[in-house]
Chain A
Amino acid sequence: DTEVTQTPKHLVMGMTNKKSLKCEQHMGHRAMYWYKQKAKKPPELMFVYSYEKLSINESVPSRFSPECPNSSLLNLHLHALQPEDSALYLCASSQVLVGETEAFFGQGTRLTVV
């Protein structure tokens, strides 16, 4: 199994809603990532978990709250988002190695904030 599975595929939420994005992998990877991608732009790193601990937070606003409940799952909790947060949210996973870690990506969740 070389897949990273993200749910839901599409999400529309209001600015006062609370929602969660989910990501799952069964490749035994111990690093998991959240990226945000706006239209016609490259993916931008948001968070990295290594061995279920948050290792990188790229100065992401607190309305985005990541959670890694176990080595296979990664969540992104959303609260009080703004319309400019509308984007494709990508989850990825990789082995934890020094310097050489290709990441495998899911298909993304297309988020629209209204």
Chain B
Amino acid sequence: GESVGLHLPTLSVQEGDNSIINCAYSNSASDYFIWYKQESGKGPQFIIDIRSNMDKRQGQRVTVLLNKTVKHLSLQIAATQPGDSAVYFCAENKGAQKLVFGQGTRLTINP
């Protein structure tokens, strides 16, 4: 079957520490992945994407790593801030505008 899932439903980190959110996918033919952030009461917000011909991509304070061998995706957030508290979803774009979301990880920041 095809699915995009997450290893852990919740993650708590200390403010200032780095956060790592993981995602597993099962469709080896998938070639494009997106990380979204969803704050309470809001719609998902694009964070960063990565294509399958890459294994790493960096943005502002965020890095996405793709390991196609084990079909694993991760989002690293550097120097986590209170504003990073949210649910993070990995999503797989299957082409033809079909975007499938994983289960999500709730990130909580401890002061």
Within 8 A of A (CB), among B22-42: 31-32, 34, 36, 41-42
Stretch in contact with the other chain, from B12-20, B62-70, B75-83, B98-106: B98-106
Q: How far is the CA of A92 from the CA of B95 in the complex (A)?
A: 16
B97 in complex: contacting residue of A31, A43, A44, A104, CB < 8 Å: A31
**10 smallest beta-carbon distances between A and B, as pairs:** A105-B43, A42-B101, A31-B97, A99-B95, A105-B44, A48-B97, A100-B32, A107-B43, A108-B43, A43-B101
Q: How many residues of B contact A (CB 8 A)?
A: 24
Q: What residues of A have a CB within 8 angstroms of the CB of B51 in the complex?
A: 100
Q: Is A50 an interface residue (CB 8 A)?
A: yes
Q: What residues of B have a CB within 8 angstroms of the CB of A101 in the complex?
A: 93, 97, 99
Contact B31 A99 (CB under 8 A): yes
Q: What residues of A have a CB within 8 angstroms of the CB of B101 in the complex?
A: 42-44
B59 to chain A, nearest CB (A): 13
Q: Is A56 an interface residue (CB 8 A)?
A: yes
Which A residues fall within an 8 A CB radius of B?
4, 31, 33, 41-45, 48, 50, 55-56, 90, 92, 94, 96, 98-108
Further pairs besides A99-B31, A100-B51: 15, Cβ < 8 Å: A33-B99, A42-B104, A44-B101, A45-B100, A50-B96, A55-B96, A56-B96, A90-B43, A92-B43, A99-B32, A99-B95, A101-B99, A102-B46, A105-B36, A105-B43
Contact A90 B32 (CB under 8 A): no
Q: How far is the CA of A96 from the CA of B97 in the complex (A)?
A: 7
Contact B49 A102 (CB under 8 A): yes
Q: How far is the CA of A108 from the CA of B40 in the complex (A)?
A: 11
Which B residues fall within an 8 A CB radius of A?
31-32, 34, 36, 41-46, 49, 51, 89, 93, 95-104
Contact B99 A45 (CB under 8 A): yes
Contact A104 B96 (CB under 8 A): no
Q: How far is the CA of A6 from the CA of B103 in the complex (A)?
A: 24
Given A102-B34, A107-B42, are A45 and B49 neighbors across the interface (CB < 8 Å)?
no
Q: What residues of B have a CB within 8 angstroms of the CB of A41 in the complex?
A: 103-104
**CB nearest neighbor in A for B46:** A102
